[in-house]
Amino acid sequence: MAKDLLPDKTTQPAEWYTRVIQLADLADYGPVKGTMIIKPYGYAIWERVQAAMDPMIKQMGVGNAYFPLFIPMSYLEREKSHVEGFAPELAVVTHGGGEKLEESLAVRPTSETIMYAAFSNWIQSWRDLPLAINQWCNVVRWEKRTLPFLRTSEFLWQEGHTAHQTHEEAIQMQQGAMGMYATIYHDFFALDGYIGQKSTSERFAGADDTLTFEMMMPSGKALQSCTSHDLGQNFAKTFDIKFQAPDRTEAYVWQTSWGLSTRSIGGLIMAHGDANGLVLPPQLAPIEIVIVPVQPDENILEYGRKLEIQLADAGRRVFFDTRDDERFGYKLNKWEVKGVPVIIKLGAKEVEEQKATLKRRDTGGEKVASQAELNGHIEALLQDIQRSLLAKSQALRNENTREAANYDDFKAILKEHKGFVKVFWNDNPEAEAKIKAATKATSRCKVASGQQGTDFFTGEPATDVWLFAQSY
RNA sequence: CGGGGUGUGGCGCAGUUGGCUAGCGCGCAGCGUUCGGGACGCUGAGGUCGGAGGUUCAAGUCCUCUCACCCCGACCA
């Protein structure tokens, strides 16, 4: 086992995390603070995410486009709360071609403003709606404290931006996007969390309403894993995005925006990783199966090549590790740290019996399959790994969700366990600031409303149920 | 931005009250022996000590300035 190579995950989570990223060859640090070089193995995971999500985005009627990296400062300044939210973390270009620029340019922290200035020109009639654009790109937010994938100064994401005739249609889009994200997290990342609304102080700068997907990490901290915003008509009014309706009246559009970033990979590493390194869900694994020969023996190699072809023909992402300068044990550890879901061990025994020994990464369990049954076994095994990783994630979430009736309970739970604390609460920024100062926890999302209860902080009647947690 | 810490081959580190040619482990290259859970031997390549200035016969080591990075907080997908 590779245990010795890694710091302990529970007692040294930060060291474990950064070390796994290095050992699994996912990423390296860039020369500028907070930047990272995503290496081919790490980027391949992102490509799997893109391959899964891009068709879903298109299915929602959203087309891919590309908008410029540079945004005139005046654009950002048009929407007041938007610029207030992003100003502290902007990277600004002041010089170009050796000369000081007339107007400084922000490196996009998100693309609402530059897109909506264009939307304003593109939208005249109700026939131009809905307008639905997505872009896969990088954005820059000058973060004070950074960690690879989880919080980097530059990160990759997709951002969807839509404009609609009615508020109902916009809300449907907002919810549709969040539904897609939930599917991606469930079915591909094998991660579960809670979907809900953000509080006044946590919502996106410029949005009327923000939906979020909040996941629990093994450390007891929550990770905001993606968001989907109902922008109302805030940007429509500042960017003058109007259309003429069939009844000849003029109206502002209703807008949404939604994004999922490479932070998701950070969540994946934290949530599924173990003492031996990365554990990848098969759906996102660049390599699903690696075949490792016990010895560089020609009979074994020949048999391995046969299995490799057999699996590749069945559509599996398989890699046959034929390096002859690394020994068997070394290779096993190498691939385990990299989180490959299934390792096939091949030795003289397997060749003779025309079998294969399959070892699953998540549990470490082994079984033997004949060559004839191999494809079926692999298929079932990959599905089972995917399923049980999701179940594990759900169990972690459930075990770390506790209810508190009052502020004392609340503080006691956070102190003892961290995790999510479920409470009745009336959304109130001042109260939230006080709670945060005292406990480091903030509201993560509202998960229910229309119930009967008592605000855990003020003791007043409340109808909304919220989750609080410390967050990454 | 506040508190703490670290800068010496690719990585991890040692280097004493200043003293000779700056070491060790891992990794890397070549050759050989090995090969069912991180093998071993031999040979070899690779650093001018974060940077600048200073003290001294002599600086990795002392002084001044400076830069970078890491960890802990406040800000955040």
Question: Which nucleotide minimizes the distance between its C1' and the CA of A4?
Answer: B38
pLDDT at A82: 87
pLDDT at A136: 98
What pLDDT, in 10s, does the model give residues A152-172? 889 999 999 999 999 999 999
Question: Quick one: average pLDDT of A287-297?
Answer: 96
pLDDT at A394: 97
Kindly report which listed range (A6-15, A175-184, A306-315, A445-454) carries the lowest average pLDDT score. Answer: A6-15
Question: Which nucleotide minimizes the distance between its C1' and the CA of A86?
Answer: B76
Distance from CA(A323) to C1'(B32), angstroms, rounded: 18
For residue A330, give every residue at least 6 positions away whose Cβ sits within 8 Å of its Cβ, in sequence order, or none: none
Distance CA A260, CA A182 (A): 11
pLDDT at A1: 43
What pLDDT, in 10s, does the model give residues A143-157? 888 888 998 889 999
pLDDT at A298: 93
Polymer length in residues for chain A:
472
Look over chain A and give the mean of its residue pLDDT values, rounded to a whole number. Answer: 94
Question: Which pTM value belongs to this model?
Answer: 0.96
pLDDT at A35: 84
Distance from CA(A396) to C1'(B11), angstroms, rounded: 35
pLDDT at A2: 45
Whether pLDDT at A395 is above 80: yes
Q: Which two tokens stand for residue A435?
A: 């709670």
| Per-position DSSP letters for A100-141, written without gaps between them | EEEEEEEEPSSSHHHHHHHHHHH--BGGG-SEEEEEEEEEE-
Distance from CA(A265) to C1'(B11), angstroms, rounded: 25
| Per-position DSSP letters for A176-193, written without gaps between them | HHHHHHHHHIIIII---E
Whether pLDDT at A467 is above 70: yes
pLDDT at A360: 98
Whether pLDDT at A22 is above 90: no
Question: Which nucleotide minimizes the distance between its C1' and the CA of A35?
Answer: B69
Question: Quick one: average pLDDT of A378-398?
Answer: 97
What pLDDT, in 10s, does the model give residues A233-256? 999 999 999 999 999 999 999 999
Whether pLDDT at A3 is above 70: no
Question: Which nucleotide minimizes the distance between its C1' and the CA of A349?
Answer: B36
pLDDT at A28: 85
Chain B nucleotides close to protein (CB under 7 A) are 1, 29, 34-39, 68-77
Distance from CA(A450) to C1'(B13), angstroms, rounded: 61
Q: Which residue is nearest to nucleotide B11 (CA to C1')?
A: A22
pLDDT at A404: 95
Distance CA A41, CA A27 (A): 8
Distance from CA(A347) to C1'(B9), angstroms, rounded: 39
What pLDDT, in 10s, does the model give residues A207-239? 999 999 999 999 899 999 999 999 999 999 999
- Helices and strands in chain A, H and E counts: 14, 25
Whether pLDDT at A290 is above 90: yes
Whether pLDDT at A274 is above 90: yes
Question: Quick one: average pLDDT of A375-403?
Answer: 97
